[in-house]
Amino acid sequence: MSTTFNYNVEQFADLRILRFQIPEFESLPLKKKMYLYYLSQAALCGRDITWDQNGRYNLWLRRVLTLVYETTHVTCATRDEFIRFEVYFKRVLFSGGFHHHYSTDKLTPELSEADVSFLINHLSVSQLDTLGVTNTNELLAKLRLIFWDDTFMFKRVCQDPDKDLLLHSSNNFYRDVTQTEVENYYQTKIDSSIENPVSHGLNSRLQKQNNQLVELVWSTKGIYGEALTQIVNWLRKASLVAENPEQVNYIETLCQYYETGDLKLFDKYSIQWLQEHKGDVDFVNGFIEVYGDSLGYRATWESLVNIKDNAASLKAEVISEYAQWFENQSPVEARFRKTQVKGVSMKVISAVMLGGDCYPTSPLGINLPNSEWIRELYGSKSVSLENISHAYHQASLTAGVVEEFTYSIKDVALHSTYGALADNLHTNLHECLGHGSGRMLPGVKQDDLKAYGSVIEEARADLYGLYFMADPKMLELNLVPHMDVYKVQYNSYLRNGLMVQMARIQKGKNIEQAHMRNRQLVCKWVLEKGHADKVIERKERCEGKTFYVINDHEKLRHLFGLLLAEVQRIKSTGDYEAARHLVETYGVVVDADLHAEVLQRYGALNVAPYSGFVNPVLTPVLDSDSNIKDVTVTYSEGYLEQMLRYGTDYGFVNDYDSM
Ligand code: ZN
């Protein structure tokens, strides 16, 4: 990839905006470019589904903020009120709503009531009318609730086990129902004697109508019908230029699923999709991940269009070839291992277009499908996103975070040599082997661990990767040039889990996000269990700065193996109590003093702790008969420019709720 490419776009609040490059897009054959273009359109058309799922008033607020922006950005550009407003607007656009994308806390604008009054007074009567209000006082009263009222929709995803998780979550997956009602509903609905169950609740909103619980399905004929129809239309165009008949088949099944909402069709699609390996182009498009629902039933819409990085994939394929070998060597009890690992496939890809919940924050790796029985019977597809991690790495080179939180200069040097390689390898092992490993005992259900399920699952995958990175097999398979690579990963995993990731948490708060809980859980557990042997040592230097230093990487590997065995036992047996104990003891609470220190040290570096991406722009070039003769790619669109354009071009959820 070109070294002159500018990866950094801009930075504001706690967010950094980067750009990624699609390698060699220009030299692809026309048919592939067209396939990518149509799939990319399908990826962008679902944007507002995600916004509406994140909260029922998000699209209304976006409309308000967009109108304010459009009417003030020329005349008020240099005024302080406008500058503060613009930061809030950009944060809302980043989050797909008015809750932080990561912490899910409500975003608070740094605006006073006078600022807001000043800005909204620029709106005309007809503009106010489109917002469902007759005057600015009415509008201000509504905005007051969103901006400053701590009791109004203060959290998108509540995970506090002492509270009713649904009544305290403001996402749009449930309405007027309690956690107990939903748990009872699924207790009677899900018959555990049925083999190969569909993923109940994955594609619907659950709400009360006439005192009955009703599932309102997301389909072309139901909720989000307009957006899903657009998606289906683009997917059908794409299938005309697909690379092979298998892709045509799974695209058709996906379209039928969107048209009917039938979850059996989604399972059929997932199986067809995971078995297709011949093409270079691939995509995710659907209601996929359930992190946005505290109870883990309902999935947020997302899309990722990608193309295979053939050279890098050769290496990753080695890992999938040896999947059974790794499973047999896994330190978990034999009865929890897969006796036959099926269809694990690993490839390295480049992102082409991010959509829905993958935009603007992109994952680094994906392992799908999520359905447990499909994974056990048919396997799964794993990818790591090479151009995204490359962009992260390029942007991090100048950030100084590793230098600040690493004790020895030697370890800093090792990190710059092997850091990117170590991270990619861990992602590959996590996605390809970790999530695909192990098996459940008969009768144990996927949702037995309830709110702790996601954390336990991520811990399992991380630990699997950490454990095997230190295996001499890595050298033998030529996956690493030196065993120092795993040491670099252990150093950075602990640096992050014990310290750096706390930079993302506000003072006085604890950890809520599943991946962060998992990392701290793993790190604090090994810190405690290795205490007597001084496996990891806490050191201080330079006016009381804290560092964690690994004294014995081999012993640390052993501890990772012990924890992996326990985490696998919890998952395989559905041991809710043990999951709760592990997560609450090690994964949630932060050490207040250390947290303050991290915030201070990280703050001094002036690096925003979260990153997101602007997409490249794909543009079809038409000949005189309006046929596509080429598709061009450009990388010059700005962040706000892109967000505003998407708002205009892809606004396909128009029956949203006004406040
Ligand atoms: Zn994972």
Q: How confident is the model over 362-387, as pLDDT tens digits?
A: 998 888 999 989 988 998 888 889 89
Nearest to 465 by CA among 364, 547, 574, 386: 364
- Ligand 1 centroid from CA 452, angstroms: 14
- Ligand 1 centroid from CA 444, angstroms: 21
- pLDDT at residue 343 in the model: 67
Quick check: is 553 in a domain?
yes
Nearest to 385 by CA among 416, 421, 348: 348
- Ligand 1 centroid from CA 430, angstroms: 6
- Ligand 1 centroid from CA 466, angstroms: 13
Question: How many of the other CB atoms lie within 10 Å of CB of 536?
Answer: 23
The answer to whether residue 549 scores a pLDDT higher than 80 is yes
Quick check: is 532 in a domain?
yes
- Ligand 1 centroid from CA 625, angstroms: 47
Same structural domain, 312 and 164: no
Quick check: is 344 in a domain?
yes
Residue that wins the pLDDT comparison between 189 and 61:
61
**Whole-angstrom distance, CA of residue 603 vs CA of residue 506:** 12
- Ligand 1 centroid from CA 332, angstroms: 19
Question: How many of the other CB atoms lie within 10 Å of CB of 279?
Answer: 15
The answer to whether residue 506 scores a pLDDT higher than 70 is yes
The answer to whether residue 3 scores a pLDDT higher than 60 is no
What domain range is 543 assigned to? Answer: 308-611
Continuous segment of H or E residues that includes residue 449: none
Across 183-197, 250-264, 501-515, the highest mean pLDDT is recorded for 250-264
Into how many domains does the chain fold? 2
Quick check: is 190 in a domain?
no
- pLDDT at residue 395 in the model: 82
Quick check: is 561 in a domain?
yes
Compute the average pLDDT of residues 439-464. 91
- Ligand 1 centroid from CA 346, angstroms: 14
- Ligand 1 centroid from CA 431, angstroms: 6
Cβ atoms of 647 and 66 within 8 Å: the answer is: yes
Quick check: is 94 in a domain?
yes
Residue that wins the pLDDT comparison between 426 and 393:
426
Digit-coded pLDDT (tens) for 144-161: 999 999 999 999 999 888
- pLDDT at residue 556 in the model: 98
The residue among 143, 171, 199 that closes a domain is 171
**Whole-angstrom distance, CA of residue 40 vs CA of residue 231:** 10
- Ligand 1 centroid from CA 499, angstroms: 21
- Ligand 1 centroid from CA 148, angstroms: 35
- Ligand 1 centroid from CA 512, angstroms: 16
- pLDDT at residue 121 in the model: 97
- Ligand 1 centroid from CA 458, angstroms: 5
Digit-coded pLDDT (tens) for 51-92: 999 999 999 999 999 999 999 999 999 999 999 999 999 999
- Ligand 1 centroid from CA 453, angstroms: 12
The residue among 171, 206, 236 that closes a domain is 171
- pLDDT at residue 533 in the model: 96
Residue that wins the pLDDT comparison between 627 and 317:
627
- pLDDT at residue 301 in the model: 98
Region for 28 from its dihedrals, namely left if φ exceeds 0, alpha if ψ lies in -120 to 50, beta otherwise: beta
- Ligand 1 centroid from CA 405, angstroms: 25
Quick check: is 598 in a domain?
yes
Quick check: is 602 in a domain?
yes
Same structural domain, 313 and 164: no
- Ligand 1 centroid from CA 570, angstroms: 17
- Ligand 1 centroid from CA 433, angstroms: 10
- Ligand 1 centroid from CA 128, angstroms: 44
- Ligand 1 centroid from CA 487, angstroms: 21
**Whole-angstrom distance, CA of residue 102 vs CA of residue 52:** 17
Digit-coded pLDDT (tens) for 27-42: 999 999 999 999 999 9
- Ligand 1 centroid from CA 426, angstroms: 11
The answer to whether residue 612 scores a pLDDT higher than 70 is yes
- Ligand 1 centroid from CA 459, angstroms: 8
The residue among 122, 138, 171 that closes a domain is 171
